[in-house]
Structure 1
Amino acid sequence: MSNHPLTRRQALGGLSAAAGTLALPPIAYAATASQQDRAVKLLETIAWDLLKLSPEGATSLGIDTGANAALRSRLEDRSAAGQARKAALLRRSLAQVSAVNPAKVEDVTRTSLAVVKSAFGTALDGFKLPYGDVAIGGWRNTPYVVIQNVGAYLDTPRFLDGDHPVRSASDAEAYLSRLSQLPAQLDGELERLRSAGAKKLIAPDFLLDKAIRQMEQSITDAGSGQSGLAQSLVNRTQTIPGDWGKRAQAIVSGNVVPALQRQLAELKKQRGKATSEAGMWSRPRGDEWYAWGLRASTTTRLSPKEIHEIGKTQLAELQARMEPILHKLGYTKGTVGQRMRALGEDPRYQFTENDAGRREIIKLMEDKIAFMRSQMPRAFRRVVPAKLEIRRLPLAEEAGAPNAYGGAGSIDGSIPGKVWVNLSSTSRHNRFSVADLVFHEGIPGHVWQGEYSNRLPLIRSLLAFNAYSEGWALYAQQLADELGAYDDDPVGRLGYLQGISFRCCRLVVDTGIHAMGWSRDKALQWFHEANGSGLAELAPEIDRYCSWPGQACGYKMGHTEINRQRDRAKAALGGKYDLRDFDQAVVDGGNVPLDVLALNIDRYIGSARGM
């Protein structure tokens, strides 16, 4: 795939990473043992300090054991006080990390120091703004505390069902402990939600409508004794003596439901004041927040206008590659978007709208993963197990969720990686796009790359950068094509190219909504016409861009940069270049800002040259 290079000014100016990134020298200095040991201990301490504030992360990584077993019984504090404690930790840790001389530590530690400085500096800038959630080395920055795809009412049930283990009575007790803390977690969010409302920092009405429907459904299910929170524990304690279901349902009915009702009342109150304006430009300090959101998501300082134009340019280049394939298949009239829409409406590529169709989607994903797993030795020097489950999203989450998302499992392998698939309607998927989707989320995408990160120091498993994470997942889609996934499947290759084009459209639409005054309807129709994606698929996508401004721009910006670095390595190494070595350097370097990625590749090139 062409690397769609940025302009010289964009490459040099745009790739100044988020605030505070530490420049990495391309040549390693001699490490001093005492400095190295102190730096390693400092990074380990910072990692555990973060996990104490977000204990769910320790469970997801499978490290809430031994001396840290108490973390398995705790939930994150989502109140304003909890946010303040996070910011205080970042300020203290940033000062400590900045005092370390990078010339006196080893390469891996030097990279970790750079990652911490970038992630913490960017997050601290986010905490200065009077808006919702700030991701510390994560992807989900949002100006809204509770909305259709944000909030403990979604996050905690999914976490308890998917990541919290129940293998013993103590695990079940820990589950109940966490369940009993959920009302306080919800009320902590409620405090911040009310504060935001008082400042007129209110989400668009169409997002609030979705959140209200979802929360009402959760309350209805819990009140009827059908709470997934209680049932998940019942399902997993069949062989563990105890009255687990009754105890869980008592907590849900007596404490969780009233807390949900309090949040619901505030959401309805804000709905009465909401407008249909989708973009951050229309909200207090919205332009300031969006500039920060773009920086956090892309690890560049490119302007919305520059990113908007990059999207349009790269979309045109990709559609030029799609044109001859469509023509050969007999689709000769209309724009590329119109012809792709016709292809998607062809019954041959659709799934039946029932549970059999849903099972077929999951089976097809599993088959594609099996093929791709067999190809990994052709692309990497060292392969990982990449344990993986493909699961349907919880029903309460589907209306506000994207088509799928995924991530690696625990460090010890006890919790497998997961691809969560939105199966609210089988029309959200078609036979020529399912492979591309599961390559992105699973192997060689998020699940695969995440296992390499899990082998790095603990702090590196906690801190991630959207442009790298999603850029890698797009690059994984490209690798799948290069490794033969579509050699006998031209329609599947169209699905792949449409998938990459989809991310180009995101650059245009996200910046259009938040910086250029586009309405939700304009964004929806432009995307529909430009890429040929179905309206059922696009509507929740557009809503996602409205609730996570800037996040969707990280994908294509990161993908472009990984390809730019690959082309640079090819040019520098000539006959010494090997795809396996480049890919290994990218994943072994871990999840980093884009400028740190470039410096990691500098070291790879130097090593391959024998320098």
Structure 2
Amino acid sequence: MLDRRSFLVTAAVAGALAGPGRALARSQATGEAAKLNAVLEAMFAAALAESAMLATYLGVDKGENAAAKSKLDMQSDEDRARNEAMYRGFQTRLKGIDRNALHGMDRVNLDAVLFTLDTSVMGIDTFDYGDDGQPNPYRVSQLTGSYQSIPDFLDTMHSIDTAEDAEAYLSRLEAFATLLDQETALVQADFAKGIVPPDFIIERALVQMNAVLAVPPAESGLSTSVARRTAEKNIAGDWAARATAITTDKVYPALRRQAAVFEAAQPGAVHDAGVARLPNGAAYYAWGIRNYTTTNLTGDEVHELGLRQVAEISARADEILKAEGRTEGSVGARIGAIGKEPQFVWPNTPEGKRDLLESLNAQVRAMQARLPEKFGKLPRSTVEIRAVPEAIQAGAPGGYYQGPSLDGSRPGAYYINLRDTAEWPKWSLPTLTYHEAIPGHHFQGSLQIEAEGIPMIRKVIGFSAFSEGWALYSEQLADEMGVYDGDPWGRLGYLQSLLFRAVRLVVDSGLHHKGWSREQAIRYMVDTLGDQESSVTTEVERYCVWPGQASSYKIGHTEWVRLREEAQAALGDRFDIKAFHDTALASGDMPLEALKSVVVEWVQTQKA
């Protein structure tokens, strides 16, 4: 039986850093360190008590946490007030700890968790709209909202092994309808304040809502998921009929009510893409940059960094193109033309999509065998590659990752959007695999979950600049490992991926700081990258609803590379790439400033 307390990691890691695979040394848990550990333990327990979905995500919705399995994370006024009080209470307790009395991992733990609370409370105190404590101005969009997330959560996260699990599924299905109505009320309140998404965001969200509603309830994944999985486990019961009745009578009507609110707002929605038009919009974007990049960069600084890196990476791509005899047109135009050549395009058929997925699995297997070249510590968790569900393909990103459960019962998953295989030239796919799976997100995220010496609360909070920066660094690492030797097109795919993230810096700041239109951003991306306009459009619309997030990738990557180069320069022949990787990853997801402290302390230890 799994219980909450068995997953609390609060003991100190004694001794100095002696080699690869260990987290940065922590002090013995006395004095301020003991106070810190107690607060972090209490914070995780509170988070688990407040979030039934977190318990399921971690795979601990069993034993004393079994009641969580029948609940969702709701958004009533009481629920939101309770969460806000939790943020403020733990922020106050952590600020009462003397940071100067902490060392090693204790200081990293304090900095990481307090950063999360500080940025959340900053948003709550400054803005009275959008997602509470997160810089997402629109509670419901093509990428946000329970209509978009809960069906997949119920299908892939909610395990069904017993009749009680199936009953809990139905309870959650009923709660889903209530959650939809709670969100709709919050959306209406935001709309009344003028926080209406751009017209193209409303249109995209409605396309997805209507796609859900177009499926007969009995054929909906909400109904078929529980029916399929109870049948597989021979669990007797009229599960399909009961799920269909809930979907018909409660979920679909609630989603229609939500769609009606968006339909009513559509005629008056503006086309302006950025958040500058919203109340205190400039500050909102600054908050987004702070939250997602963990830096204090300004919009101008982000924009200029992007322009410089676009120029540098384009020049490297130009060298490959010229060497392959592709000399006419801009870099983006030439890459775009190559991407349309038949030998590089998977057929947009079920068979073509199946073969594409198998090619990704082959890439994962090949990289898995080579990981010991650069890492001393490897994760135990496996990763599966899945197609993005068709119902949300229209608005979903091209690829994304979903972490494994804490108990190992659910593997990590790397999702790829196969709405149109033409968006994925064959030479572009290896880099995506290294980013999303190994040595990227799955590798880093699994090590964090499996690591000893990191408090549980730090295993469930993340920092986009750290994790996305690592995933982009992983693409570079794969190139350095020689995976593209003799494969100029594969290396071009890697450079296009780097270029894609540099372009994001320009476009994110362009939309939210420079006043760019959606169309201007799309045209810049198409011209610079040579990507399909359909995939670029989805990307630009994503940046519109997550201000600042698109900048986290390249800013994080730039810092990872800078820290490695500084460590190499300081240690010379004593620099050990395996130890560098193992140490930074064993210390867990953290703000970039904390990562710098980890690397600096490691370098000092190696010198000694």
TM > 0.5 between the two? yes
SS of the aligned residue for 1:221 comes to: coil
Match of 1:154 among 148, 154, 166: 148
TM-score by length of 1: 0.92
Distance 2:249 2:394 in 1: 27
Tell me by how many angstroms 1:65 deviates: 2.1
Distance 1:196 1:71, change over 3 A: same
Aligned to 1:420: 415
Distance 1:585 1:287 in 2: 37
Tell me by how many angstroms 1:68 deviates: 1.7
Which aligned pairs between 1:95-494 and structure 2 lie closer than 5 A? 95-104=92-101, 107-128=104-125, 129-134=127-132, 141-223=135-217, 225-238=218-231, 239-454=234-449, 455=451, 456-494=454-492
Distance 1:28 1:165 in 2: 37
Distance 1:68 1:37, change over 3 A: farther
Distance 2:110 2:570 in 1: 27
Checking the alignment, whether the CA contact within 8 Å between 1:31 and 1:104 is kept in structure 2 is no
Q: Percent identity?
A: 38
Tell me by how many angstroms 1:407 deviates: 3.0
Match of 1:66 among 37, 45, 63: 63
Residue 571 (structure 2) pairs with residue 573 (structure 1): yes
Distance 2:77 2:369 in 1: 48
Deviations 1:433-471 (A, max 9, x none): 111111111111111100121123211111111111110
Deviations 1:388-418 (A, max 9, x none): 1111111111100111100320112111000
Distance 2:216 2:597 in 1: 52
Deviations 1:13-51 (A, max 9, x none): xxxxxxxxxxxxx99785453544443232121012122
Distance 1:227 1:308, change over 3 A: same
**One-letter identity of the residue aligned with 1:322:** A
Match of 2:594 among 593, 596, 605: 596
Deviates more, 1:361-370 or 1:108-117: 108-117
Distance 1:27 1:254 in 2: 54
Deviates more, 1:45-54 or 1:423-432: 45-54
Aligned to 1:517: 515
Checking the alignment, whether the CA contact within 8 Å between 2:441 and 2:471 is kept in structure 1 is yes
Deviates more, 1:143-152 or 1:106-115: 106-115
Aligned to 2:87: 90
Deviations 1:482-505 (A, max 9, x none): 122211211000000000100000
**One-letter identity of the residue aligned with 1:512:** G
Aligned to 2:15: none
Distance 1:448 1:27 in 2: 19
Aligned to 1:15: none
Distance 2:214 2:312 in 1: 49
Distance 1:29 1:142, change over 3 A: closer
Checking the alignment, whether the CA contact within 8 Å between 1:314 and 1:504 is kept in structure 2 is yes
**One-letter identity of the residue aligned with 1:237:** T
Tell me by how many angstroms 1:472 deviates: 0.7
Distance 1:468 1:481 in 2: 20
Unaligned runs of 5+ in 1: 1-25
Distance 1:518 1:105 in 2: 45
Aligned to 2:10: none
Deviations 1:296-343 (A, max 9, x none): 111111111110010010111111211221111110111111111111
SS of the aligned residue for 1:433 comes to: helix
Distance 1:152 1:307 in 2: 32
Tell me by how many angstroms 1:118 deviates: 0.3
TM-score by length of 2: 0.93
Checking the alignment, whether the CA contact within 8 Å between 1:131 and 1:142 is kept in structure 2 is no
Checking the alignment, whether the CA contact within 8 Å between 2:423 and 2:531 is kept in structure 1 is no
**One-letter identity of the residue aligned with 1:366:** N
Distance 2:310 2:190 in 1: 37
Distance 1:429 1:66, change over 3 A: same
Equivalent residue pairs, number: 580
**One-letter identity of the residue aligned with 1:537:** S
Checking the alignment, whether the CA contact within 8 Å between 1:471 and 1:556 is kept in structure 2 is yes
SS of the aligned residue for 1:389 comes to: strand
Tell me by how many angstroms 1:105 deviates: 5.1
